[in-house]
Chains A and B, each alone.
Chain A
């Protein structure tokens, strides 16, 4: 902004005496300012974010072994083989991430609403309580879920006596009278870990909603639920969209919850990539898997943004 406004302002401040050249020189140097500002950071991202993607692309079409070395042979079949072997993990990842995102929205909305409209002077305290758990390492907190959901623990006991576990076992979410090492535990952990990423954007967009609109809706004889459905919720859409993205994307690639709270039957694609890369050392398969994950996430997200239709994201 300043750069485009500067030229007309510049001749005004110095006395009319000085000749043209120095002014032009200064403005030429000024035009380079943004590039100098960008250079180090962008270079960092190009070298350590974009270039690695290129390397990974080339790795995914290599064949060979660790002993003999890998060569680029344009072996695209790796993608097909990887997909065929690991599609259960892909489907599971998307399913778990989608469920966790929906649960985050369901659980997060009331709290965001509470923070934005009802908290009053308790607002700051509640906000602190939302953010403060962050400061305990998320791995420690995820391990705490092992204690909470433990086999003989109070949570399992209560769910069992209410016969909830019978229903969830029938649905395949739990097994017998256990919660730990089942899909339910993994989804519970994912929901817990990414909930704040849903609450904070929801809260910011709800705060922008004018409270007088609620009064207006009430004056027009709208019941509270109708007011919410027709006024509040549509106006909070930007928060809903960025919240769901901030939960879905990291959740789909996460393997911490699946590894700590799940079993071999609940492995997500992140675990597979990690194992292939760090233990099996099958780099082409790992690279292909992570490219497929990236593509799936990008396509899902693009379709979702197009459908939800918000521009003010980036």
Chain B
């Protein structure tokens, strides 16, 4: 009993962690289910069918590849624009700095439905055709602020004297930027890009408003909740989870080895 009380924080923390992981375990387990009927909500029998044929459900892989394409372009756009803004904000003093800061902050402090609805009014008024391009425009818009925040944090902690040193050693502005500034800022830019990719790939609300009849992966999942969920959705969810864990753990191992060899 005393042991329990002393470790209360640890137990409560692990309980929360279990709450966070539980749905992922359910998704994993139900990817091996052979459902009766259209919905995959109750356990029937073990089967590998869905894993053998992940694209078996109609239109599923099409929506997945569309989401990946949109996320890739949105990441590129938001990262380039966001990095430029972050550098301007950290490195220069200029008028309207406060206004720019609030314009960056506002999209993050706005419920998604509000942005989604207002963007749709714009597109409707302009008579734009909803689809790939309107979704891409929307995704770059809401990812931008997050990239700026991530890159800003990194650039702020950078020592400007390193760049001065490069200039003193007769590096031109371009050379200084490519050889000194960019490598130091890279982790921040990478974090921003990763965040943008995840946000864009997973976005439902803004996409739902501005996609017209285009179906991204989250919209496919949403539709399937009404029509009947194919097991393949769980397969893809599980694969994404496993891939993420592998990448992080792998990166950790490489990092450890590098640190060890650097210490030697």
**Which chain A residues have a beta carbon within 8 Å of chain B's beta carbons?**
1-4, 9, 13, 31, 33-35, 37-38, 40-42, 44-46, 48-53, 55-56, 59, 107-108, 110-115, 118, 124, 126, 128-148, 150, 152, 192, 195-196, 199, 245, 249-250, 252-256, 260, 269-270, 273-274, 277-278, 283, 286-287, 290-291, 293-294, 297-298, 301, 314
Prevailing SS type, chain A contact patch? helix
In the complex, chain A residues whose CB is within 8 Å of the CB of B17? 111, 126, 129-130
C-alpha gap A217/B40 in the complex (Å):
54
In the complex, chain A residues whose CB is within 8 Å of the CB of B124? 283
In the complex, chain B residues whose CB is within 8 Å of the CB of A3? 91-94
Lowest 8 CB-CB distances: which A-B pairs, in order? A253-B111, A114-B13, A110-B12, A135-B244, A34-B92, A41-B81, A52-B118, A37-B88
Q: How far is the CB of B37 from chain A (nearest CB, A)?
A: 14
User: Does A314 lie within 8 Å of B101, measured CB to CB?
Assistant: yes
In the complex, chain A residues whose CB is within 8 Å of the CB of B82? 41
In the complex, chain B residues whose CB is within 8 Å of the CB of A277? 117, 120, 209
Judge if B48 is at the interface, Cβ distance under 8 Å. Answer: no
Judge if B127 is at the interface, Cβ distance under 8 Å. Answer: no
In the complex, chain B residues whose CB is within 8 Å of the CB of A134? 198, 202, 244
C-alpha gap A297/B110 in the complex (Å):
8
Q: How far is the CB of B46 from chain A (nearest CB, A)?
A: 16
In the complex, chain B residues whose CB is within 8 Å of the CB of A254? 111-113, 205
Known: A50-B103, A143-B225. A290 touches B114 (CB 8 A): yes
**Which chain B residues have a beta carbon within 8 Å of chain A's beta carbons?**
8-10, 12-17, 19-24, 26-27, 30, 41-42, 81-82, 84-85, 87-88, 90-94, 100-107, 109-115, 117-122, 124-125, 137-138, 140-141, 144, 148, 160, 163-164, 167-168, 198, 201-202, 204-205, 208-209, 217-218, 221-222, 225, 229, 233-234, 236-238, 240-241, 243-245, 248-249, 252
In the complex, chain A residues whose CB is within 8 Å of the CB of B252? 124, 128
Q: How far is the CB of B121 from chain A (nearest CB, A)?
A: 5
Interface residue from B9, B81, B93 paired with A110 (Cβ < 8 Å): B9
Q: Which of B15, B90, B225 has the most CB of A within 10 A?
A: B225
Known: A52-B122, A53-B118. A41 touches B21 (CB 8 A): no
* Closest B residue to A313 using CB positions: B105
C-alpha gap A69/B248 in the complex (Å):
53
Interface residue from A1, A114, A297 paired with B91 (Cβ < 8 Å): A1
C-alpha gap A164/B125 in the complex (Å):
52
C-alpha gap A293/B92 in the complex (Å):
36
User: Does A140 lie within 8 Å of B221, measured CB to CB?
Assistant: yes
In the complex, chain B residues whose CB is within 8 Å of the CB of A147? 26, 30, 41-42
Known: A129-B17, A195-B16. A314 touches B105 (CB 8 A): yes
In the complex, chain A residues whose CB is within 8 Å of the CB of B20? 129-130, 133, 192, 195-196
User: Does B248 lie within 8 Å of A132, measured CB to CB?
Assistant: yes
In the complex, chain A residues whose CB is within 8 Å of the CB of B81? 40-41, 44
In the complex, chain A residues whose CB is within 8 Å of the CB of B102? 314
Interface residue from A118, A132, A286 paired with B241 (Cβ < 8 Å): A132
